[in-house]
Amino acid sequence: MKIHRLARKELMIAFAFLIPSLVGFAVFYLIPFVQSVLLSFQDKGGGGSLTLDNYKDVLTSLSFQKAAANTFWFTVVSVPLLVVLSLVLALLLNQRVFFRDWLRTAYVMPLVVPVASIVLVWQILFDWNGAFNGVLMHFGQDRVDWMKSDWAGLVIILIYIWKNVGYNVVLFLAGLQNIPDQYYEIASLEGAGRMRTLFGITLTYLTPTTFLVILMSVLNSFKVFRETYLVAGAYPHDQIYLMQHYMNNMFLSLDIQKLSAAAVLMALSILVLVAVLFRTERVFRSFME
Amino acid sequence: MMKKLISITMLRSVLLLMLAVVMLMPVILMVDNSFMTEKEIQANYSMLGKTSTNEIVNMKLIPDWVSFDQYYKVLISTSAFLFMFWNSVLLVLPIIAGQVLVATLAAFAFGKLQFPGRESLFFLYLITMLMPFQVTLVSNYIMADQLGLLNTHSSIILPGVFGAFGVFLLRQFMMHIHSAYLEAAKMDGAGYLRIFFTIALPMVKPGVAALVVLLFADYWNMVEQPLIFLQDANLQPLSIFLSRIQEELLGVSFAASVVYMMPMVLLFLFAERYFIEGIQLSGVKG
């Protein structure tokens, strides 16, 4: 009886701590999301009947298809690239190195440099008359219209990596420092080679960190829209027209039903992605144990 | 053997140092350009965005003439800049203060208290946090519309205060507090509110610091929300202003960028130790 009462008391206390967050979270995220799901099935004319027209409109729209495909490819290419690069950097930084703390600060710095300021520099580098074309011309090559050709995708990937590599390096470094030294000692006693140690110990015990890094990298890959938008505007080159451009442009036309349908589709694909990631992590973890 | 070891370390350090310079290049470029005169800027960069000329930009690391003209124009003779700077402050400070407050309370409950449905409720926060911005923006818009908040700062501040990221980050830190501390405090008869303020809050300080820096970086830079929620140009923050002045006012845009960047960089350097510690701890599974 006493235990029961104690548990109830703790429940009340937990509730008291949670309530400010819960109310706001419900009002600004949960409830409107449910509303947008309902809206996505609503007829534009305002009739009460449910319809799949909004979804049909969105899915068959060419700009949606283009945006979805571009975003998919951007994520598939840039996230693994970023994760591998930050892992390599973290492995290098984890060895004997001069000025380690300074280097780490330099790598994290881009995270705090305002986007709008950076765009200016980006133009200086990648403009038709920009610095990179200057270098190309110096070596007798033809100029490239970076933001208005198929190179645009590469430029955006570069911005994404430049911005996020530091955050991931810090995460990886923490993960690396959490691997007990004894593991490495045992491995060297048993005569394991460098590659074997890297894969058998370092990467294996880094799995939980890697999982988190991937999750954060996916999350941050959706923020690259800001840079893209500021560099290339609302209607950039075909190759970098992302889901976020599509959504933003729909916002401006204020077609809330279609917008909701697109949001629901986007949310669904994120859910699938997260589910796959969590499942993979579980498989890995049981494999490790 | 020893010599070889040192030279490998040297090589590695030089390589990493070169990369660091590349990473910092945009910042360096911006700062030294901010000390150029209007004339020099025009001479170096006026061909940007023009396909008609074949001239190439002139990247110089040292200005011909160190001048504070740009800073004078930005800070003293143009009132629009400071006005929008103030708008940014009005938007960002309430979001940070609010989210830190609301999220530490919730994170304490998620990390240290028992209640049914805890895990599933937290999962809901996690999923929301992982949603791309454009999805939650639709929700935020629908609610702001219903509450009549559109075209006010509150339409951006309120969803910001209740963002899920703070709850996620700080929960990781709360979970690291050893339960023995809480048990001991309970034995001494301390109530939960007292435990929260005297034990939990001081122990998650690095987490709060990391959250403040990350939120600042996010919201000081916001572009999408003001574009969509604020029609009134008088309400717009500096991030929007800055993205627009580039063409017309190339001459002052570098100084404007530096001034705009300053609060962010200072905060980062000031809180760096906590910030790095904060990111690191967020990755350790509790």
Q: HSE-up of A153 (CA within 13 Å, CB side)?
A: 16
B266 CB within 8 Å of a chain A CB:
no
> Which residues of B are less than 8 Å from A218 in CB distance?
130
Flag whether A2 is in a domain.
Answer: no
* Binary contact (A105, B272; C-beta < 8 A): yes
How many Å apart are CA B216 and CA A59, to the nearest integer?
36
Which of A37-41, A134-138, A269-273, B240-244 is least confident? B240-244
Specify the pLDDT at position A251. Answer: 80
Domain region containing A178:
62-117+150-288
Flag whether B67 is in a domain.
Answer: no
Specify the pLDDT at position A2. Answer: 58
Chain B residue nearest residue A93, CA to CA: B16
**Residue A223 confidence (pLDDT) above 90:** no
Give me Rg for the CA atoms of chain A. 24
How many Å apart are CA A53 and CA A43, to the nearest integer?
7
CATH number of residue B195's parent domain: 1.10.3720.10
Mean pLDDT in order along chain B per 10 residues (286 residues): 78 90 88 84 75 72 79 82 90 96 95 89 90 84 91 94 92 85 85 88 88 89 85 85 68 84 87 77 54
A interface test, pick of B47, B139, B273 with most A CB neighbours within 10 Å? B139
Domain region containing B194:
72-283
Place of tokens 């209607």: A235
pLDDT in tens, A231-273: 777 778 888 888 878 888 888 777 888 889 999 998 998 889 8
**Residue A30 confidence (pLDDT) above 90:** yes
Place of tokens 């996690």: B126
pLDDT in tens, A76-103: 999 999 999 999 999 999 888 888 888 9
Flag whether B89 is in a domain.
Answer: yes
* Binary contact (A11, B116; C-beta < 8 A): yes
Flag whether B234 is in a domain.
Answer: yes
Flag whether B226 is in a domain.
Answer: yes
CA of A75 to nearest chain B CA: how many angstroms apart? 12
Nearest to A112 among B141, B217, B243 (CB): B217
Flag whether B125 is in a domain.
Answer: yes
Q: Which residue, among A110, A113, A225, A245, has the nearest Cα to B221 in the 3D structure?
A: A113
pLDDT average, residue stretch A200-224: 85
> Which residues of B are less than 8 Å from A168 in CB distance?
none
Chain B residue nearest residue A178, CA to CA: B284
Residues with Cβ within 8 Å of residue B270, at least 6 apart in sequence? none
Read out DSSP for A206-233? THHHHHHHHHHHHHHHGGGHHHHHHHH-
pLDDT band at A185; cut points 50, 70, 90 = confident
* Binary contact (B113, A119; C-beta < 8 A): no
Flag whether A24 is in a domain.
Answer: no
Residue A50: φ, ψ to 5°: -85, 145
Based on the structure, what is the number of domains in chain B? Answer: 1
CA of A186 to nearest chain B CA: how many angstroms apart? 22
Specify the pLDDT at position B18. Answer: 92
How many Å apart are CA B167 and CA B188, to the nearest integer?
28
Dihedral in degrees, nearest 10, Cα atoms A157, B135, B141, A239: 40
Compare B89 and A132 and report the one with higher pLDDT.
Answer: B89
The β-bridge partners of A42 are A50
Flag whether B34 is in a domain.
Answer: no
Residues 71-100 of chain A whose Cβ lies under 8 A from any Cβ of chain B = 89, 92-93, 95-99
A203 CB within 8 Å of a chain B CB:
no
> Which residues of A are less than 8 Å from B257 in CB distance?
114, 116-117, 120
Flag whether A78 is in a domain.
Answer: yes
CATH number of residue A217's parent domain: 1.10.3720.10
CA of A107 to nearest chain B CA: how many angstroms apart? 6
Flag whether B272 is in a domain.
Answer: yes
Is the separation of the CB atoms in B111 and B171 below 8 Å? Answer: yes
Place of tokens 């709008």: A116
Based on the structure, what is the number of domains in chain A? Answer: 1
Q: Where are the beta strands (DSSP E) in B86-128?
A: none
Structure tokens at A46: 């305002």
Specify the pLDDT at position B285. Answer: 45
B interface test, pick of A120, A162, A224, A272 with most B CB neighbours within 10 Å? A120
Flag whether A95 is in a domain.
Answer: yes
How many A/B residue pairs have CB atoms within 8 Å? 287
Flag whether A166 is in a domain.
Answer: yes
Place of tokens 């690291």: B176
A interface test, pick of B18, B40, B129, B138 with most A CB neighbours within 10 Å? B138
* Binary contact (B9, A13; C-beta < 8 A): no
Residue A125: φ, ψ to 5°: -80, -45
Structure tokens at B83: 């006005």
Flag whether B49 is in a domain.
Answer: no
